[in-house]
Amino acid sequence: MDFKGTTVVLVHGAWADGLSWASVIASLKSHGVKVVAAPLPLTSLADDVAAVSHTIARIDGPVVLVGHAYAGAVIGETHSDKVKALVYVAALAPDEGETVADVFYRAEPHPQAPKLAPDENSLIWLPDDAFAKAFAPNADPEMQGMLAAVQRPIAIACITVPAGVPAWRSLPSWYLLAQDDRMIIAGTQRFMAERMKAHVRVHSVDHTPSVTAPSVVVDIIEEAIRAAA
């Protein structure tokens, strides 16, 4: 299929940057897909939504918006006529009036999930050992170390502000459910995906499949592109 008419906008989650999408970007581009990774400041939900909106404003033509983890909340708050489909990759999807923290903490965490708390600057950092234990346990040690080295903290203002009417209520949505996720347990993911009435694709992958299983991420994105076209 000719993918040239649609641009995929990839949105990273907390403790990450564009590096987490590197393999997905390379694969999509090799298939002829236009792709952009939107950088988030991770300073507040409103700031992050504005950053994605600014990225979309530079794009001509239809967009498929992809969010990982926390970025699910961001793409849900991003409203643009250019966006034709949403893809959630092990992502959080608060409904109207809910916060990111509400859905993140709705169930008991995985035993190997890190304990999180803001520092004196209201920033939440991921402990270095959490990249191997929970964030990307299926990655090799070198990549786990790289992810830890480039991590970007998330401000508490990102996760404590109630969401508005989410875009998934009116747009076709896909959800990659990561069965082996230790950050956002599979049961929480399934609850959100079913509530969204998303097209759910279940895989035995960890929290960051864009790094550890990029082919399954590419597959669901390309499925969304085909449907949107």
Q: Above 60 in pLDDT, residue 1?
A: no
- pLDDT band of residue 75 (cuts 50, 70, 90) is very high
Query: What are the backbone dihedrals phi and psi of residue 177, each rounded to the nearest 5 degrees, phi first?
Result: -90, 115
What confidence score (pLDDT) does residue 228 get? Answer: 86
| Residue 127 belongs to a domain | no
pLDDT at 132: 97
pLDDT at 81 over 70: yes
Taking 60 as the threshold, does the pLDDT of residue 171 lie above it? yes
- For residue 229, pLDDT over 90 is answered with no
Name the pLDDT band for 2 (thresholds 50, 70, 90): low
| Residue 196 banded pLDDT, cuts 50, 70, 90 | very high
Q: Is residue 126 part of a domain?
A: no
pLDDT, tens only, 106-116: 999 999 999 99
Band of pLDDT at residue 3, cut at 50, 70 and 90? low
Give a yes or no: residue 134 inside a domain: no
pLDDT at 19: 87
Phi, psi for residue 32 in degrees, rounded to 5? 85, 15
CA distance to 40, 75, 86, 162, per residue, from 10 (Å): 11, 10, 10, 23
With respect to residue 140, please indicate whether it lies within any of the assigned structural domains.
Answer: no
Q: What residue numbers bound the domain in which 180 lies?
A: 7-111+158-228
Q: Determine contact, residues 66/89, Cβ cutoff 8 Å.
A: yes
Residue 116 maps to a domain: no
**Number of domains making up the chain:** 1
Q: What is the β-pairing status of strands 123-124 and 154-155?
A: antiparallel
Model confidence at 43, pLDDT cuts 50, 70, 90, reads very high
Average pLDDT over every residue of 179-189: 98
Report the CATH number at residue 217. Answer: 3.40.50.1820
What is the length of the chain?
229
Is residue 75 domain-resident?
Answer: yes
- 227: pLDDT strictly greater than 90: yes
**144 in any annotated domain:** no
**Using CA atoms, how far apart are residues 159 and 45, in angstroms rounded to an integer?**
7
- Give the residue ranges of DSSP H helices in the chain: 22-30, 45-57, 71-77, 100-104, 130, 141-149, 186-196, 209-212, 214-228
Do the domain assignments include residue 205?
Answer: yes
Q: What are phi and psi of 137, to 5 degrees?
A: -65, -20
**Confidence at 36, pLDDT banded by 50, 70, 90:** very high
Helix (H, G, I), strand (E, B) or coil at 51: helix
- DSSP assigned state of 183: S
Q: Which of 209, 92, 227 is nearest to 154 (CA)?
A: 92
Q: How many angstroms separate the most distant Cα atoms in the chain? A: 51
Q: With 70 as the cut, is the pLDDT of residue 104 above it?
A: yes
pTM for this model (two decimals): 0.96
Mean pLDDT of 103-128: 94
